[in-house]
Structure 1
Amino acid sequence: MSAINAIEVSHLTKKFGQKTVVDDISFNVRQGEVFGLLGPNGAGKTTTLRMMTTLLKADAGHVKIFGHDTVKEGRLARSMFGLTGQYASVDEDISARENLMIFSRLNGLSRQDAKQRTTELLTEFSLENSADKALKNFSGGMRRRLDLAVSLITRPTLIFLDEPTTGLDPRTRTQMWETIRKLVKQGSTVILTTQYLDEADQLADNLAIIDHGKVVKMGTPAELKQQVGGTKLNFTVGQATQVSAAVKLLTAKVPNTIQRTGQRLSVRLNQVTDLTPILAALKQAKIAIDHLSVQEPSLDDVFMDLTVGKN
């Protein structure tokens, strides 16, 4: 069964002057998934998103939305998605209710339907109590929620979220995550740009890590963590005089770099089964250890491994 991809991005490139901001990027997004574009500030995520959503013309390459070319069939492609930017496009001087009514009417809803959809969205985004306040009195989190609500008026099957939780407090971020999960359960496909590793880990089914305008790695969060390396073993050697012996023993057992901070040693294991022989060898050598911990790799490790030190 070959379902049409929600998005196909082929060899997308963009230069500003002499600087190549997006450099020959290609990836596909399946229907019904959350696809994350993850990368440091200035990596090219937002520029990529702007080209995908026809807000910016690519210098090379093309994008298809549900099989429709965004240049040749721009209007049709644009009708298939909703976009939430980093900065709200709403009117500051009127209320959330009035904003939603105006955008609903602009999207072709009748007055009655616009009223009903506005009420639904105010409830969905916990804005009922502030519905009639002018936006200039809204907190950052409330404005982000309203901006997302506006992009969902037409219930688009594809939603672009550009750093949707930047500047939000932890509670509001968690609420936003719940909303995104709910959208996916209802059948939406979500493209998410973020610089937050926990957000990508929590939400994304697949990730493209972008750095200096290039896709440096793609895969599920689990696959990316596995590629960086397996489980990390940390422990403290009980006696300072035995640290060198412990390092030598670890080097013989695991061919990976050993990190040493005083009496604290860390090493990445190729597989979890490496742990038992290491502990047995330490015991046999009468090297006492404590504060033993075993950590699975995190997206932080992936991110650091792929982007840090390459600037």
Structure 2
Amino acid sequence: MSPERKPSIPDVGELGLQSDCGSCFGLCCVALPFAASADFAIDKDAGRPCPSLRTDFRCGIHSELRPRGFSGCTVFDCFGAGQKVSQVTFGGQDWRQAPGTARQMFDVFPVMRQLHELLWYLAEALSRPAARPVHADLRAALEETERLTRAGAEELTGLDVPAHRGEVNALLLRTSELVRVGIPGRKKERRGADLVGARLKGANLRGANLRGAYLIAADLKGADLRTADLIGADLRAADLSGADLTGALFLTQSQLNAAKGDAATELPQTLTRPAHW
């Protein structure tokens, strides 16, 4: 069976959805909290710089994050929100030079990250020919979301993010339905399913609805996940070795980074094979 044509996400560069850490003030290393766990070696409160953050906003242990117990850092993706907040919202003035802006900058960052994630999904949805019936609405939602990313700090911190996500999600759900209805055969509906550790080796999940499914440590070796909807699916430690993710809907780099795979795993062309696979 020949693989499907892999879609391309339009305007990713123009929208600034790829992380540029060199243009960011280390916001993910300061603004976000984390707790000592399998993903992080220490506890850190929101707004407190990670001890490994250097004065130039680079990570002092970047090449050793996994062996030092910071695998959570290696899977995080801000979708370009860090440089947007640093260079656009705050005009290139960093929180060390202007400590009075720090609290607001750290509050804006997670909001911007969610907006940029939505832009990623909307851009992908617009690349799907099958979703043409809702392209006009998707384009309008993308333009409004892009407008919000360029708003001032006060508007961003006051934004009702759940309400905006809800409006966008309705369009993404419709996109998923339009794309998957064209896939032959019966599609599995496993939205939000608890599939932790599930044995799904070689499973036919083509066109399946796996939105928000818990696939932690699931055995998906050799599984057919072509055009499956994976938005929000938890793939931590899931084994994707030899799996076919060609055309998977709303799959992100951070999901892949959290999973396991190998050279035989088939990926959408918009994503990169993680270095640790």
- For the criterion TM > 0.5, the same-fold answer is no
Larger radius of gyration: 1
Relative contact order, higher structure (CA 8 A, sep 6+):
1
Q: TM-score, normalised by structure 1?
A: 0.25
Q: TM-score, normalised by structure 2?
A: 0.27
Larger fraction in strand? 1
